[in-house]
Structure 1
Amino acid sequence: MSIAAIGAALASSASVPTTGLASTGSAGAATGTGATSGTGFAQALEGGLQNLSDVQTKADDLGVKAATGDLTDVHDYMIAATKAELTTELTVTLRNKALDAFNEIMRMQG
């Protein structure tokens, strides 16, 4: 599934109400006592996936330039490739933690 398709799916499911997940913009702080629309979480997730796509695209473009000899500073490619690798690892780790949390919640209900 492409990142655009994931983003579209999140945007369409963003109307699911959540409790107390309104972000204040500070490092992970949650506020609010009532239900929110959940669009903040969906937008943050979509933004993170879009950032991952952008970082990987930049690394790919610089890789092509390096291979064709059009890149003057090879270290720019190395930095972009490392950033793409770390961003991918972070995204996979967050996905794994979310799945672990989901599975734990499902075990609690049974």
Structure 2
Amino acid sequence: MNTFVNGINNDPAMPNSEIAKQTVTPNEAHQNFANTLKTAIENVNNAQAESDKKTEALAKGQIDDLHDVMITAQKASVTLETSVEVQRQVIDAYNKIMRMQI
């Protein structure tokens, strides 16, 4: 219980935290966002590639575990759907910002 409380007290989002006091330049923020986005897209691509690989192996008779193939395909599908929904949300947020009057 004490560890949990200490974990909360060390939350980086809290204003007294050492991490919250650090400043990030716009260029660093841009690079961090770009790297995060690139990693997320690579993860979606890897999930799709793994699903395709297992589906092809099942069709060729190289593996017999249909459940594993279906689970992998479903994970890839959910990952892709999530990324598409995030894209929609980002575009909606951008459009709302662009419509704001100054």
Query: After superposition, where does 1:19-98 map in structure 2 within 5 Å?
Result: 31=20, 32-36=22-26, 37=28, 38-98=30-90
Q: Quickly say closer, same or farther: Cα 1:78–1:107, change in 2 above 3 A.
A: same
Q: Give the 4+ runs in structure 1 shifted more than 2 A.
A: 30-36
Count of paired positions: 82
- 3-state SS of the aligned residue for 1:71? coil
CA gap 1:34/1:72 in 2 versus in 1, 3 angstroms? closer
- Aligned residue identity for 1:35: T
Deviation at 1:87, TM superposition (A): 0.2
**Cα offset, 1:76, TM superposition:** 1.1
- Could you tell me the TM-score, scaled by structure 1's length? 0.67
The percentage of counterpart residues that share the same residue type is 34
Alpha-carbon distance in structure 2 between the residues aligned to 1:35 and 1:109: 26
Secondary structure of 1:52's aligned partner: helix
TM-score w.r.t. length of structure 2: 0.72
As a proportion of its length, which structure holds more strand? 1
Q: 1:70 to 1:93 in 2, by over 3 A?
A: same
Over 3 Å counting, the alpha-carbon distance change for 1:70 and 1:95 in structure 2 is: same
* Alignment equivalent of 2:99, drawn from 82, 87, 107: 107
The runs of 5 or more residues in structure 1 that have no matched partner are 1-25
